[in-house]
Structure 1
Amino acid sequence: MEVLKTLDNAFLLPILRDLDWLSAFINVRIKNYFQKDLNQVVVLPTAPDIEDEKSPYTRYILRNNLTLNERIVFLMSMVPLLKPQIFDCFFIQNKSIGRFFSEFGGVDSKSSGGFNPTVETLNFVINGQDVSKRIALFMILSEDHFFAKDQVLFLRRNQDNDTFWSRRLMMNEDFFYHLISGEQIKPKFSEGFPAKELTTQLEIEDLVLTKQLKEELYHILAWMEHRSEINNNKNLRKNFKKGYRALFYGPPGTGKSLSAAILGKMSNQLVYRVDLSQVVSKYIGETEKNLARLLDTAEYKNWVLFFDEAESLFSKRTEVNDSKDKYANQGTAYLLQRLEDYDGLVILATNLRPNIDRAFVRRFQSIIYFNVPGFQERMQLWENSLKVFEIDENLSIPKLAERFEVSGASINNAIQFAWLNARRHQRKIIETFDIEAGLMREMSKEGKSVK
């Protein structure tokens, strides 16, 4: 993570103030622990008041209504990033056994030499020596908590056989960057979030689609626009399914991904294309976990999810011949239910509609076929795409549209090739043969012949 050259003190000061309070809180716990007087009343420092939302830190606390324990967990995840010396007190060794105190938990960082807190450390700071309150941490650190859903905090294993209590508490560094800078950080592609944002500079008017297809897209936009009204109206909720599921199918390059990006742009919602290779796991049960984690994050953030080549994930169920088939069918059933419970827009795209499980098809509110553009659509695509280039005045768009039955993506690729080919030969004007050469390349890619 890059460090800002200048930080806004107004954003940092509330965090530093609360870290000073946490330091005093920990010191009282340590002092009480070594006094070994279980009957002594422990007077812990009172948390500083938070009165405004002027910083991302205070805004997050107030908007999520953090409890005292949640606030301590939140702060402890930031100590290694801002004031690691606060945890130096945990390096005290138990002289009778020659190592650190087990009650303090923690992991010695090999890279920085500092102390990284584990769940055991959190338990000591929050609950002291009260064993009966230990179980409450499961709720704060569960995958259902907003810390996990918002991708703010996570637990990292040190070894494969780690228990819950020995896992390290860590803050998402992108979110930490947001806290100290005020900048909104979008999630990066990772194992925990196997998706990339899908964007476009185009508008829906730029799409060259049939009238019926555009009407279908406007219908989806209507749901996105009135989603809150539906969710807040008891009578409407009874008559509407939860969320919205759309199936886009048709040959490659016909506008499926572009349409998804434009839907997000027009509704002011982020669209993420899911990398199915990261979601699908060879281990039984892991695919469901990966998908659940992704859907939880997207649902919390109100994002649109776009599953490209979805037939690899949502394929037809098989006859049960062995245990693998049984688990595969159970996984499909789980995916059906989880998507039905998703309170947002999910778009599945495929070139092969027949390969989608029929049970999925019944759950779609929209099934839209993206066909290869006809002659009139190809004419419009050529005119729209060539208007920013210098072209041969004798180039005939009608002849190109009639001779080459290609998709919009192939037309764009052919024009890019033609422009580069002209530049390679020190020409500013794109000639007809440049474009034809590009189109021949596109046709050969798809194994098609020219009229």
Structure 2
Amino acid sequence: MVVIDKKINSLINLELIKYLENRVRARLLYELREEVVEVIEPEIEKDGTFLSDFIIRNKLSNYEVILLLLTLIPHLVPNFYTKIIEEYIPQGGEFPEFGGVKGKSYRGILPTVETALYILSGNYIVNRLLNRAYILYENRLIKNKIIVVEKVSEGEPLTSAKLILSEEYTHLFLTGEELKPQLSQDFPASLITTNLAWEDLVLQEKTLNDVKEIENWLAYKEILMNDWGMASKIKPGYRVLFCGLPGTGKTLTAGLLGKHTGKDVYRVDLSMVVSKYIGETEKNLSKLFDKSINKDWILFFDEADAIFGKRTGVRDAHDKYANQEVSYLLQRIEAHPGLIILASNFKNNIDTAFTRRFNNIIEFETPNYDERLLLWKNNLPKNVELEESITIEELAKKFNLTGANIVNVVQYACLKTIGSNENKILRQYILEGVKREYTKEGKTINIKL
């Protein structure tokens, strides 16, 4: 019997490990000694372990449970397979039917498709053919990239491909914590979060109503697609364009959508996506979409004009491949099952091929007087007063600022107040901050300090 460290009992249901061991032993007994041993499938209950909860929540079949355990066990017990095999083949030697490979540093057996086929089908060729198709193409763990089938060298059978449990799920099952992907060339996006609430977002009523439509889709998409049978009639996913000047709340809205629906929001770093080399942009995008396709994340493409911009007339090879990038993007965003948000300063900058496919286009307009008044009220500190010579009504009326501008002005004025040991925020500091914001945007304003 394989000995398993009791420390993992709080994370992994040991009965499941024992079940896999019994399945391996039963197959070896039948194939090598023609002894039939019945293996009873375990009753998987909610035991507080992430592995059991995952199996129950996703209603995994018995075969899917075996595949999951096959790929998880090398991370737990390095000699799991070799110890069992040595009991039945004590003389050692080659055992190609079982499959498996050695790693560069790992000295135990890493399972391959052949390993899974042997445990599920033995040497019975009809079952092997059926299960081969199931393992490689049909089961949900492979489709959803929870388990990855490694590419094989040219000329080698696909059954020699290594089965690898994805890093995210390995981390989840072994630590009980979700592994968040980090910004890298393989994942050109970073997680965005916010400490603000919906009450801090000041938008026009029409814009807020449009945003509520996105919330509805996130909340009820499963009912719409599955219970109402709309999966065959409408395309998966939801695509929306946020358009408006910088500072009008596009990024904050994306962050709040994620915060209040319990979904991670990843802002795509287009500088790491777009490449001057032919085919590299599509390759970088493919990595991003492949990683996120079944994660239920929100993808936020800020300043999307850089990659979703209008196609041009074909004058040279560069134009041809640039247009191919747009066509590739169209295919990927249409097939993506999650929420994709594109943000642009101007709607007309986005290629019409994309705009036709958006479920909604939401305008983020520059705040009017009432909205600016509310923004000043929300962002000025509650425990420090303004100098009597200035009011927020005056500020909201005189200066056509966005929410981001107002936050910057407040930050500047507060720091100046603290640094000067003042007990009130002076008019001078507020107006200096306003002038700085206008100057940054190349605007001129005559402000009397």
CA distance in 2: counterparts of 1:270 and 1:360, whole angstroms: 24
Which of 280, 287, 290 aligns to 1:290? It is 287
Specify the alignment match of 1:3 in structure 2. none
Q: Which has the larger displacement, 219-228 or 340-349?
A: 219-228
Specify the alignment match of 1:339 in structure 2. 333
Which of 433, 437, 447 aligns to 2:442? It is 447
Which residues of 2 match residues 44-193 of structure 1 at below 5 A? 46-54=39-47, 55-89=49-83, 104-111=98-105, 113-130=107-124, 133=128, 136-137=131-132, 139-142=134-137, 145-148=139-142, 150=144, 152-155=146-149, 164-165=158-159, 167-180=161-174, 182=176, 185=178, 187-189=180-182
Q: Deviations over 1:269-290 (max 9, x none)?
A: 4443334455556553525633
Q: What letter is aligned with 2:46?
A: E
Q: What letter is aligned with 2:173?
A: L
CA distance in 2: counterparts of 1:159 and 1:430, whole angstroms: 69
Q: Deviations over 1:137-182 (max 9, x none)?
A: 454355x753256553334569999975555433344434433565
With over 3 angstroms needed to count, the CA separation of the structure-2 counterparts of 1:415 and 1:169, relative to structure 1, is farther
Specify the alignment match of 1:95 in structure 2. none
CA distance in 2: counterparts of 1:418 and 1:205, whole angstroms: 23
SS of 1:78's partner is helix
Kindly report the root-mean-square deviation, in angstroms, between the aligned alpha carbons of the 2 structures: 4.1
CA distance in 1: counterparts of 2:419 and 2:244, whole angstroms: 35
In the alignment, structure 1 segments of 5+ residues that lack a partner are 1-5, 93-97
Specify the alignment match of 2:402 in structure 1. 407
Specify the alignment match of 1:202 in structure 2. 196
Specify the alignment match of 2:3 in structure 1. none
Q: Is the 8 A contact 2:113 2:135 kept in 1?
A: no
Q: Is the 8 A contact 1:279 1:290 kept in 2?
A: no
Q: What letter is aligned with 2:42?
A: D
Which residues of 2 match residues 219-234 of structure 1 at below 5 A? 219-225=213-219, 227-228=221-222, 230-231=224-225
Determine if the alignment matches structure 1 residue 390 to structure 2 residue 384: yes
CA distance in 2: counterparts of 1:236 and 1:178, whole angstroms: 32
With over 3 angstroms needed to count, the CA separation of the structure-2 counterparts of 1:365 and 1:18, relative to structure 1, is closer
With over 3 angstroms needed to count, the CA separation of the structure-2 counterparts of 1:115 and 1:342, relative to structure 1, is closer
Q: Is the 8 A contact 1:18 1:48 kept in 2?
A: no
SS of 1:202's partner is coil
**Displacement of 1:357:** 1.0
Which of 19, 22, 33 aligns to 2:20? It is 22
Q: Is the 8 A contact 1:421 1:434 kept in 2?
A: yes
**Displacement of 1:79:** 1.6
CA distance in 2: counterparts of 1:90 and 1:319, whole angstroms: 65
Q: Is the 8 A contact 2:30 2:36 kept in 1?
A: no
Q: Is the 8 A contact 2:19 2:42 kept in 1?
A: no
**Displacement of 1:255:** 0.3
**Displacement of 1:8:** 7.6
Q: Deviations over 1:202-231 (max 9, x none)?
A: 333332222332233234444555545543
In the alignment, structure 2 segments of 5+ residues that lack a partner are 1-5, 87-91
TM-score w.r.t. length of structure 1:
0.77
| % identity of equivalent residues | 35
**Displacement of 1:78:** 1.6
With over 3 angstroms needed to count, the CA separation of the structure-2 counterparts of 1:202 and 1:293, relative to structure 1, is same
SS of 1:297's partner is coil
CA distance in 1: counterparts of 2:229 and 2:150, whole angstroms: 44
With over 3 angstroms needed to count, the CA separation of the structure-2 counterparts of 1:405 and 1:161, relative to structure 1, is farther
TM-score w.r.t. length of structure 2:
0.77
Q: Is the 8 A contact 1:200 1:258 kept in 2?
A: yes
Q: Is the 8 A contact 2:99 2:160 kept in 1?
A: yes
Which residues of 2 match residues 255-404 of structure 1 at below 5 A? 255-277=249-271, 282=277, 284=279, 286=283, 289-290=286-287, 292-294=289-291, 296-298=293-295, 301=296, 303-321=297-315, 325-394=319-388, 395-402=390-397, 404=399
Q: Which has the larger displacement, 120-129 or 355-364?
A: 120-129
CA distance in 1: counterparts of 2:377 and 2:347, whole angstroms: 31
**Displacement of 1:10:** 5.2
Q: Is the 8 A contact 2:117 2:131 kept in 1?
A: no
